[in-house]
Amino acid sequence: MNRKQLRKIFSDTYYTRLSGTPEELKTAEYLAECCRAYGAKAWLEPFDVDMADIESASLTADGVSIPCKGYRLSGCGSVTAPFAYLPSLDPASLAQVRGKIVMIDGYLGIFAYKDIAEAGAAGFITYDGNVHYKDSDIDQRTLRPYVSNGVKTLGVNINAKDAAKLVRQAPAEVTISIQQKEYVSQSHNVVAEIPGCSDEWIVFTAHYDTTSLSLGPWDNMSGCVGLLGIMEALSKEAPLRYGLRFIFCGSEESGLLGSKEYAAKHESELEKVALNINLDMIGCTMGKFIAVVSAEEKLVDFIKYYCSIEGWGIQARLGVYSSDSTPFADKGVPALSFARIATPNQATIHNRYDTMAVMSMEQMQKDIEFLAGFSMTMANAVKCPVGREMPEKIKTELDEYLGRKRKE
Ligand SMILES: [Zn+2]
C-alpha cells in the first residue's frame, strides 16, 4: 500500500467505533469491502453484546456536584454513603469498606470488583484522564457482565482532576444516582479468507472498535490496516501452503468479546490453526516494536533470530498480551501479538489524544513490510514448526488474565 492508500483508510474510519453501535458496524462493512478488493471472500459474523443507554447520572459530595458518567450495566437508583478512597485493595483497606462508596485507582478488574463487592461497598467511583491534561474528559465505562457476575453496584467514572479534588475535600457523604436502559445489541467480527494448499490455517487478528473518547487510528485501525497490508502482499502469492484467515474483531475494548466469541464458536476448527498472529497498535512515529508470544518459548528465540537476520529491531518475550491473541492461546493455539509501543509522553490510548498526529505513514509501510515478510515465512512453511504445548508460565498467566486465578 502506498502512503496515499494508507491515509485514505485511516481517514475513512476516523470516528469513534464503540462496541455495539452503528459506527462499529459501519467500520465492519467497510473493512469487509476492503478485503473483497484484494480478492478475499469476506463476511460478518454477528454476536450479542449487553448495552445500556445512560439517561441520567450524578455524583454529589456533601451537596457539591461532580461531573461524572454512570457505569453502564451498573444498575438504576440512588445511594448515599460515606466516602472512602482505596488506593490499595489489601485486607486492612477492604475491612473499612462496608457501607461506603469507594473510589479506586485504575480499572475495575474482576478481582477488584469482587473484593469491594464482597467487602460490602455501597457504590464505587473510578477515574481516568490525567491531572496535568487541559481537558476534563470522562470515558464512558461499562460494568462488564463477566466482572459483575450478576452482582450489580452503582458506579460512576470521573476525571482525574476531580478525583484529587474529592480526596482533598474528604466529604462526609457522597451520593450516586443513575437511571439507564439496558438492552442487547450486536457487534461483529469481520472474517476474510484466502484458502491455501492444505487444510491448515494461519489466523490473523486485529480489533477495529474503540473506546468512547477515541478516534483510534493507533488503537487499533493501525492493526487493521496492517492486516490489509499483509493480505495485499500475500494474496499476490496465493495459494500459499497454509490458508489465511483474517479476523477483524469487534468489541475488543469491552473485554476481548469478539475474539472470545470467535474462539468459542469455531472451537472445533482451532486444531487446524497452526498460528495466530495478532496486531494491536503499529505505525506510530515514536516507540519500539515488540512481540509477545503465548506459545512455546522457541518461538521467541525464532523471532529474535529472524529479526536479527532481517535487521529489524524488536523486543520479543513470552507472555499474555491484553488483546485478541489471548482467547486463541487460551484454546491452545500458538499465538503472538506484534505492536509498536510508544512511551506515554509520546502517545497514549483510550482518550482524545489517539489521533493521526501520533501516526507515521512511513512507519506504517515499514511495519507492514516486516509483518508481511514474517507472515509469508510462516504461511508458506512446508510445516509450521511451532509446537502446541503451552508453557506452564503462560497457562498461569492466562488463568490470571482471564480471572480464573488471583495473581500471587
Ligand atoms: Zn487495542
Report how far apart, in Å, the C-alpha atoms of 98 and of each of 81, 83, 95 are: 10, 11, 7
- Cα 327 to averaged position of ligand 1 atoms, centre (Å): 14
Q: What is the CATH number of the domain that holds 298?
A: 3.40.630.10
Nearest-angstrom CA–CA distance, 275 and 163: 44
Residues 272 and 384 grouped into a single domain: yes
CA-only gyration radius of the chain, Å? 22
Residues 207 and 349 grouped into a single domain: yes
Nearest C-alpha neighbor of 24 from the set 181, 177, 186: 186
What pLDDT does 408 receive? 78
What pLDDT does 197 receive? 97
Q: Could you say which of 143, 172, 201 is where a domain stops?
A: 172
- Cα 32 to averaged position of ligand 1 atoms, centre (Å): 19
What pLDDT does 156 receive? 98
Nearest C-alpha neighbor of 290 from the set 233, 393, 282: 282
Q: Is residue 56 part of a domain?
A: no
Mean pLDDT, consecutive 10-residue stretches, the chain (408 aa), reads 97 98 98 97 98 98 97 98 96 96 95 96 97 96 95 97 97 98 98 97 98 98 98 96 98 98 98 98 98 98 98 98 98 98 96 98 98 98 96 98 92
Residues 72 and 40 grouped into a single domain: no
- Cα 221 to averaged position of ligand 1 atoms, centre (Å): 9
Nearest-angstrom CA–CA distance, 333 and 353: 34
Residues 265 and 304 grouped into a single domain: yes
Residues 338 and 234 grouped into a single domain: yes
- Cα 326 to averaged position of ligand 1 atoms, centre (Å): 13
- Cα 323 to averaged position of ligand 1 atoms, centre (Å): 6
What pLDDT does 54 receive? 98
Q: Is residue 54 part of a domain?
A: no
- Cα 220 to averaged position of ligand 1 atoms, centre (Å): 5
Q: Could you say which of 148, 172, 196 is where a domain stops?
A: 172
- Cα 219 to averaged position of ligand 1 atoms, centre (Å): 5
Residues 32 and 90 grouped into a single domain: no
- Cα 342 to averaged position of ligand 1 atoms, centre (Å): 13
Residues 74 and 190 grouped into a single domain: no
Q: Is residue 406 part of a domain?
A: no
- Cα 351 to averaged position of ligand 1 atoms, centre (Å): 12
Residues 17 and 131 grouped into a single domain: no
Q: Is residue 180 part of a domain?
A: no
Beta bridge partner(s), residue 337: 278, 292
Nearest C-alpha neighbor of 17 from the set 282, 224, 259: 224
Q: Is residue 55 part of a domain?
A: no
Report the SS3 class of residue 341. Answer: strand
Residue keyed to cell 486492612: 92
Long-range CB pairs of 96-104, under 8 A, 24+ apart, other chains included = 97/121, 101/125, 101/174, 101/176, 103/127, 103/163, 103/166, 103/167
Q: What is the 3-state secondary structure (H, E, C) of 13-40?
A: CCCCCECCCHHHHHHHHHHHHHHHHCCC
What letter does residue 280 receive in the DSSP assignment?
Answer: -
- Cα 38 to averaged position of ligand 1 atoms, centre (Å): 24
Q: Are 214 and 91 in contact (CB under 8 A)?
A: no
Q: What residue numbers bound the domain in which 293 lies?
A: 3-49+186-401
Q: What is the CATH number of the domain that holds 69?
A: 3.50.30.30
Q: Is residue 285 part of a domain?
A: yes
- Cα 122 to averaged position of ligand 1 atoms, centre (Å): 32
Residues 380 and 248 grouped into a single domain: yes
What pLDDT does 31 receive? 98
Q: Could you say which of 146, 172, 198 is where a domain stops?
A: 172
- Cα 289 to averaged position of ligand 1 atoms, centre (Å): 15
- Cα 14 to averaged position of ligand 1 atoms, centre (Å): 15
Residues 145 and 221 grouped into a single domain: no
- Cα 379 to averaged position of ligand 1 atoms, centre (Å): 24
49: Cβ contacts below 8 Å, ≥ 6 apart: 19, 20, 184, 185, 186, 187, 251, 254, 257
Q: Is residue 248 part of a domain?
A: yes
Residues 119 and 267 grouped into a single domain: no
- Cα 216 to averaged position of ligand 1 atoms, centre (Å): 8
140 burial type by CB count under 10 A (0-12 exposed, 13-18 middle, 19+ buried): middle
DSSP string, 73-138: TS-SEEEEE-EEEES---HHHHTT-TTSEEEESS---HHHHHHHHHTT-SEEEEEES-TTSS----
- Cα 109 to averaged position of ligand 1 atoms, centre (Å): 17
- Cα 218 to averaged position of ligand 1 atoms, centre (Å): 8
> Per the structure, how many domains does the chain have?
2
- Cα 75 to averaged position of ligand 1 atoms, centre (Å): 27
Q: Is residue 309 part of a domain?
A: yes
Nearest-angstrom CA–CA distance, 307 and 299: 12
- Cα 312 to averaged position of ligand 1 atoms, centre (Å): 23
15: Cβ contacts below 8 Å, ≥ 6 apart: 23, 215
- Cα 279 to averaged position of ligand 1 atoms, centre (Å): 9
- Cα 341 to averaged position of ligand 1 atoms, centre (Å): 11
- Cα 280 to averaged position of ligand 1 atoms, centre (Å): 5
Residues 374 and 292 grouped into a single domain: yes
- Cα 276 to averaged position of ligand 1 atoms, centre (Å): 16
Beta bridge partner(s), residue 290: 315, 339
Nearest-angstrom CA–CA distance, 173 and 191: 51
